[in-house]
């Protein structure tokens, strides 16, 4: 095989792409996780529905440890987190595809570490929470088929399930955020804890007018339906070009062992 990818999405990416896929159940200490699996252009691809079919679990109720632990057993070259997000910046519009660079984690109700056992204290380095090497190459491959924002994108992650207030959106912008969603944390951090390369690709589905915002879920669903085909074409391109990408070395795999605190 020329590479192995795991997609975590708000739907099952492989099923949406229409590839003939098999089911693969992975058992972890946190429970079973159902993946679909396909070989696409000699790349082994797995995908999992972050919320379970039917959007059964809201983002704050997802067991991220179960998903990431299961993904780790598949020994992927990269985990790609697919999500939607809301913009509150002038230059980020509905339908834009973003490769997230940074995260401001404002979640409070989620189990966000594997290392919560006394005697196994680790302080994982997440200064760059996304694998820089993988993101750069994948973003470059994506930019060859569509224009992308060149600047850095910072995502604010909130618990939800409610949407943000106008005051919160103003604050997110003041503290350096560009977009907001409910699913990047702790997913990216847990992936780093297990030494996995993680890349986040997010589609803007709503844009707040901070003077008079009235974003609704209906707006988001409409945006997803309008942009989904184009977004999926981009993912298919990334899969088919993955084996040709020349990735620079990264330190993600060393993160767990370099985080052990002992005097």
Residues that bind Zn ion (CB under 5 A): 131, 197, 250, 252
The CB-of-255 to Zn ion minimum distance in angstroms stands at 9
With beta carbons less than 8 A apart as the criterion, state whether 100 and 155 touch.
yes
The CB-of-77 to Zn ion minimum distance in angstroms stands at 9
The CB-of-196 to Zn ion minimum distance in angstroms stands at 8
Dist CA 7 CA 47 (whole Å):
4
C-alpha distances (whole Å) from 43 to each of 11, 97, 118, 150, 202 are: 20, 23, 39, 27, 22
- For Zn ion, the closer of residues 102 and 222 by Cβ is 102
Q: What tokens does 145 get?
A: 């088929």
- For Zn ion, the closer of residues 74 and 94 by Cβ is 74
With beta carbons less than 8 A apart as the criterion, state whether 23 and 15 touch.
no
Dist CA 258 CA 72 (whole Å):
18
- Counted residue by residue, the chain has a size of 263
- For Zn ion, the closer of residues 131 and 220 by Cβ is 131
- For Zn ion, the closer of residues 63 and 128 by Cβ is 128
- For Zn ion, the closer of residues 197 and 235 by Cβ is 197
With beta carbons less than 8 A apart as the criterion, state whether 201 and 155 touch.
no
The CB-of-83 to Zn ion minimum distance in angstroms stands at 19
The CB-of-171 to Zn ion minimum distance in angstroms stands at 31
């Amino acid at each position: 095989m020329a590479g192995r990818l795991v997609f975590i999405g708000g739907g099952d990416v492989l099923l949406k792409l229409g590839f003939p896929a098999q089911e693969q159940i992975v058992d972890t200490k946190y429970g079973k996780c159902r993946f679909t699996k396909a070989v696409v252009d000699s790349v082994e691809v797995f995908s999992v529905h972050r919320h379970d079919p039917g959007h059964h679990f809201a983002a704050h109720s997802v067991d991220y440890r179960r998903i990431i632990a299961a993904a780790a057993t598949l020994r992927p070259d990269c985990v790609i987190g697919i999500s939607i997000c809301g913009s509150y910046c002038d230059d980020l519009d509905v339908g834009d595809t973003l490769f997230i660079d940074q995260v401001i984690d404002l979640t409070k109700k989620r189990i966000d570490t594997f290392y919560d056992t006394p005697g196994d204290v680790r302080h994982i380095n997440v200064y760059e929470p996304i694998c820089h090497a993988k993101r750069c190459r994948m973003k470059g491959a994506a930019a060859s088929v569509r224009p992308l924002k060149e600047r850095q994108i910072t995502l604010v992650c909130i618990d939800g399930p409610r949407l943000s207030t106008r005051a919160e959106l103003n604050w997110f912008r003041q503290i350096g955020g560009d977009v907001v969603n409910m699913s990047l944390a702790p997913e990216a951090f847990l992936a780093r804890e297990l030494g996995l390369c993680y890349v986040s690709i997010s589609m803007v589905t709503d844009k707040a007018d901070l003077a008079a915002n009235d974003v609704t879920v209906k707006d988001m669903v409409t945006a997803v339906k309008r942009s989904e085909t184009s977004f999926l074409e981009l993912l298919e391109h990334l899969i088919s070009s993955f084996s040709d990408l020349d990735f620079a070395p990264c330190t993600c795999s060393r993160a767990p062992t370099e985080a052990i605190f002992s005097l």
